[in-house]
Structures are given as C-alpha cells and as structure tokens.
Amino acid sequence: YNVENLDSSDGKYDVLASNIVYNLHAPDIIALQEIQDADGAGRGTDLSGVKTAQGLIDAIAATSGLRYGYVEIAPTAANTTGGEPNGNIRGGYLYNLDRVTYVEGSAELIDGPAYNNTRKPLVADFLFHGEMVTAINVHLTSRGGSDPLWGATQPPADAGDAARTAQAAGVKAYINAHLADNPDLNIAVLGDWNGFAWENAQTQLTDPAKGGALTDLNTLLSVEERYSYLFEGNAQQIDHILVTEGLRANAQYDAVHINSQFGGDRPTDHDPQLAVFDFGGAVARTMVASAGQDVVTEQGFDFGSVPASTHPTDVFAWDTASTVAAAETGNVANGALQVDSFGYDQLYSVTPVDHIHLV
C-alpha cells in the first residue's frame, strides 16, 4: 500500500487506519511504501521512520483495538532514496502482533548498483501457524518524465524502464538463489512497481520462457478491475503482488478501489492490493460457558458480556470466568456465537485459523 509521503505531521492517519481496518479488513501483513523519516520533509538528522509508522499504528489501535508491529531498515544517508527532498522515503511492514510473528533479524535489503538513489527492496520473514512467508517490499523507479499518452511521440517513451528492469532483475536473482536452496519457499513480491505486467521488469519474473517462477495475482481479476492508479484519465495497474507457486495455489486477490478514482481528502493516489492465502490445516474448537460470561470481540471491537440472545459472527472470543478446561481457553478465531437449548453460549470456530491476509 503506497501511502504517498506519509510523515508524522500528516492529518491522514485516521483515514488510512479506516482504510486498513474497514476496507481491507485488517490484513496480517501490510507492505507500505513512501514512509518518510521522523520529521517528514524537514532537515532533521533522524532518518528513522519508526515515529511515522507509530502514528499509523496508534490510529489503527484507536479505531479497532488491533495491535501492529513495524519493521524497516532506515536509509543511512539523507536524500539517497528519491522522492520528496529530505523526506527519505522507504518501505516498511506493519504486521498484526496477534496473528503473525516477525522472524527477528530476518529483515534485509537487496542491494546493488541498480538501487543507487532509489529504494532498495526490503525482505522480511513472517511466521503464521508454522508456515514461513518471505515478503519482498518493492518501490521501483518512478515513471516521472514519461511522454504523454496522447502526445506527439508515439509510442510514448516510458521513463525509468531500464532502471526498473535492472531493479527487478536484482529481485529475481535474490529469489532464484533462495529457491535453489528450497524450491518450496513461500515468497511474495509486493508493492509499487511503477510498471505494468507486460513490461520487461515484471515478465522476467513471471514468464517461464525468461526463467520466471512467479505469478502476478492480478490475473485472478477481470481485466476491467486491473488498475491501482489513474494517470491522465487512464486506469492502470502499477501496484502488484507476485507470488511463488505455494502461495498461488489457494490465493484470493482484490484491487481495492478506494483512492485512485477519487480526489479531495483521499490519503493517497494509489489503491491498495489485497491477497488472501489459505494454508489449510485448520483445527476446530468449541468453548462452552454460561451465558454472559464470555467476552467476544470482532476484529478488536469489544462487545462486552454477551447475552444468550446475541449472535455476532466472525469473532475472537475467550472465557473470562475460566469455566472451561484450560485447553479450551484462549482465542477462538473466527467463531460464530450460537445458543443451545440449555441457554449456554457455544463458540464454534466456523472459519478456521488458516488464512493469512497480505497487502
């Protein structure tokens, strides 16, 4: 999700938090692009984006009660990543602390000459119920300076094409080296590619004839839905999620059109891309307790004590009175509250804990 020069003085934290919680249903992992440093476009020396990200984390918590962590590797020198002068944009990850685990020390940057004065892809590993997902957050060189779509030069020249192709080649080399050691790795390359699915930058990763081993999940969408950005009235997809085979098999995908078509107070000019991956292996659990003794939350919203007549769905729940066996206490993910003939609340996990949501 490209959040367009997000800085700590922005007034758009609340609307971004609303996007994430309500429009995207609180993804487990969120790859953000254009996080600015501690003072935005100011001239301070703190290049960390932690303060900027924390503002969004706090807004999400205020909106939903959900807890997110943040991972980044900050630039080591000012004005070396492109973008707004002194903003020092970078990629970073938000991750749901109660759903996934960041593998400490796994974050690294893909380096090389192709990334001079632009953003280096950020790699990080996350664990979800024993399954490892390697995310590669990309923000390739801008198309700024390209010819107008309807200008005198036809076909129009695409500025930065060679740079993007070289940067994607670095990502491909990284992936190939790791797949050579373990062909079953779950890898997702996601972010602002500033490019199209048919350009060389991406086809080298997706076309088997070019040694590509990834799939662009936009192929799961109808053609008219494949856009994330509007340029001169032309709807185009420059934000993508590419995955290895293990993630592709049971993937769902959506381009969530909440920004690109709108002006005014939109927080960014990019639409977020959302993917859901099903790892299987669900375990159903039942928790039984007296009516009114269960605390039920829906994506972090506390409904308090639940009377026997209440039937919320898609809930997390636990028994506050400890009236059930220890093995049955703790979170019951995505359950549905039902009432039996004896007036007891029974919390069944009807949608198992086997899906991970990634933006």
54 and 125 in a single domain? The answer is: yes
| Residues 51, 14 share a domain | yes
Distance of CA 61 to the CA centre of its chain: 17
pLDDT tens digits, residue range 262-281?
Answer: 987 899 999 999 999 988 75
214 and 242 in contact (C-beta within 8 Å)?
A: yes
**Residue 237's domain spans which residues?**
2-279
In this structure, the answer to whether residues 242 and 338 fall within a common structural domain is no
Provide the pLDDT confidence category of residue 36 given band limits of 50, 70 and 90: very high
Q: Does a structural domain hold residue 256?
A: yes
344: pLDDT strictly greater than 90: no
| 195 close to 164: Cβ distance less than 8 angstroms | yes
Q: Are residues 208 and 322 in the same domain?
A: no
pLDDT in tens, 192-234: 999 999 999 999 999 999 999 999 999 999 999 999 999 878 8
**Pair (192, 300) in one structural domain:** no
Residues 6 or more apart in contact with residue 180 via CB below 8 angstroms? none
Among 105, 100, 98, 108, smallest CA distance to 126 is for 100
Q: Which of 169, 348, 133, 347 is nearest to 246 (CA)?
A: 133
- Structural domain count of the chain: 2
Which range, of 103-112, 142-151, 247-256, 328-337, averages the lowest pLDDT?
A: 328-337
Top mean pLDDT of 197-211, 306-320, 340-354 is at 197-211
Rg of the chain (C-alpha set): 22
Task: Write down the pLDDT at residue 307.
Answer: 36
Residue 181 has pLDDT above 80, yes or no: yes
70 bridge partner residues: 94
d(Cα 121, Cα 108) in Å, to the nearest integer?
A: 8
Do 326 and 201 lie in a common domain?
A: no
| pLDDT value at 304 more than 50 | no
Q: What's this model's pTM, rounded to 2 decimal places?
A: 0.80
Same domain, 251 and 191: yes
Same domain as 169, residue 106: yes
Q: How confident is the model at residue 357 (pLDDT cuts 50, 70, 90)?
A: low
**345 vs 115, higher pLDDT:** 115
Determine the average pLDDT of the residues in 109-122.
Answer: 97
Q: Would the pLDDT of 292 be above 70?
A: no
